[in-house]
Amino acid sequence: MIRVLLADDENLIRSALAALLALEEDLEVVAQAASGAEALAMARAHTPDVAVLDLQMPDRDGISVAGELSTVLPGCAVVIVTGHGRAGHLKRALEAGVRGFLPKTVSAPVLTDVVRTVHRGGRYVDPELAAEAISAGDSPLTPREADVLELAAGGAPVEEIAARAHLSAGTVRNHLSAAAAKLGAPNRHAAVEAARRHGWI
């Protein structure tokens, strides 16, 4: 029996996925979560074999949860499902050790096959997302610039970003300015949008 954890902040989607997986004789949904923090807590409590995580949850994204899961529960394979996959998301997911990456538009048989595949140690990446990732190229942002842009996404003032990133306000301004220049954006808000559009943050 393959033990599965489901994490998605949309209750209807999560319940539907649980119902679909429950129809399979070899799959058992042992826990459900509505946030990244809850997913990690449930993973520690139930030690699933496979975690199926939504890419975007309110508190943190599925990729960062996957990265932490690889340390906390290295035997748990992670599948990311998303309503809006981007090339940058796929690259970050693979770097975090994610074994499956697919859009929410896939059929139930594909999802169940992917769960079995990653449990056996295999990988599955949606072909269209893979093709897009190959053609998109790498992010021009440094990891620090991406971090600062991510913190700026909610419209936080420079001082708050500086405190959260443990940097000086001047350094934050420099990173924001460099990121905007690299992305051809007129300001940090446009830079955030551009980086998000490509999946770089």
One digit per residue, the tens of pLDDT, for the chain of length 201 reads 999 999 999 999 999 999 999 999 999 999 999 999 999 999 999 999 999 999 988 888 898 899 999 998 999 999 999 876 666 788 788 888 999 999 888 898 999 999 999 999 999 998 887 777 666 667 788 888 988 998 898 888 999 999 988 899 999 999 999 999 988 899 999 999 888 877 788
The pTM score is 0.71
End-to-end Cα distance, the chain = 36
Residue 55: which domain range?
2-134
**Which domain-ending residue is among 134, 166, 187?**
134
Both 77 and 156 in a single domain?
Answer: no
For residue 159, the domain's CATH number is 1.10.10.10
Both 17 and 109 in a single domain?
Answer: yes
Question: Which whole-number Å values give the CA distances from 88 to 99, 151, 199, in the listed order?
Answer: 16, 18, 4
- Total domains, the chain: 2
